[in-house]
Structure 1
Amino acid sequence: MKRVFGIAALVACLLLSPMAALASERGPVTNLPLPRFVSLKASEGNVRRGPSLSHRIDWVFKHRNMPLQIVAEHGHWRRVVDRDGAGGWVHYTLLSGSRFGLIEEDMTPVYRLADSASDIVAHAEVGVVARLGKCDLYWCRVTLDGTKGWLPREKLWGLMPGEIRE
């Protein structure tokens, strides 16, 4: 009996370890997982070199709902990176928990169902921002300019590996 329990425990650890690794680090301010995805709430957001107004603005994000990955926290500031790995410090009031993804491949088909054999309802261009709905390990429900459909999740940037959205 002990041997069966030991094997079951080992199998459980191996299956759960990738998910545990995702949530192992927590932000010191929010206690939320790091890294995690958010979106730009405003139509413009200053990206600073450090976590305060006295730090220089390196550039400005100019796309509302753009997905960003939070990689660090300090007070009211969040260190974010975009799809290209460019990043800096953004005030938390410019960020939203609403989830969006960035289309990674030009003319990506958007399917009526979570099945590549279903009808194509649209084609999405690279760089388009899609509102994320339900996601499993293979497909995400998205909304693009009012059109709803399903995309293979590997065509999107804005999800943690193994992340499931209900």
Structure 2
Amino acid sequence: MGANKMDLSRFAEVAAANVAPEHREALKASVLDFEAWIKEKTRYEPTPAEAVVIHYPWDVAAQFAAAEPNQRMLDHARLLGHGDEGLTGEVKKRLSAWYLRLRDDNLVIEYNPHFPPEPGVSDTGGWAYRHREEQDADLLIRKNGWTRLTEEGQTIWALPDEDLWP
């Protein structure tokens, strides 16, 4: 990752959604001006752990956060951010089994807050396993209208080579 990888555009969007419509564009511009100033004055570079959070592909609603697919994505993020020393034995076991399932069954996960509950996937809905299609490439995820996949995220959210599994 190169220097100056800070991206406050998502913050600007979320913050703007919480102010009166007539002030939204001004708030976004102010946040982005502040970001430009920080980049100019510092050599900010996120840690690997910060990078995976910055590039998380979804804004997951609270009622879907505890679902197994989201938890495995967060475990994957922890693995990339901290290495397997940051994972408990149980988490390593679950993450390896999840990678194996995605690889062997040729699956990806898809998030959409309108998905109904699915036994064994999510009691509250929001998640589904899908058979991998050509458009999914080597990603762990299926891109849809709820997905924000950055260029760096294309690498972060790919199924790692088996020798990198915990």
What TM-score does the superposition give when structure 2 sets the normalisation length? 0.26
The structure whose Rg is larger is 1
Whose strand fraction is larger, Structure 1's or Structure 2's?
1
* Bigger helix share: 2
TM-score by length of 1: 0.26
- RCO comparison, higher one (Cα < 8 Å, 6+): 2
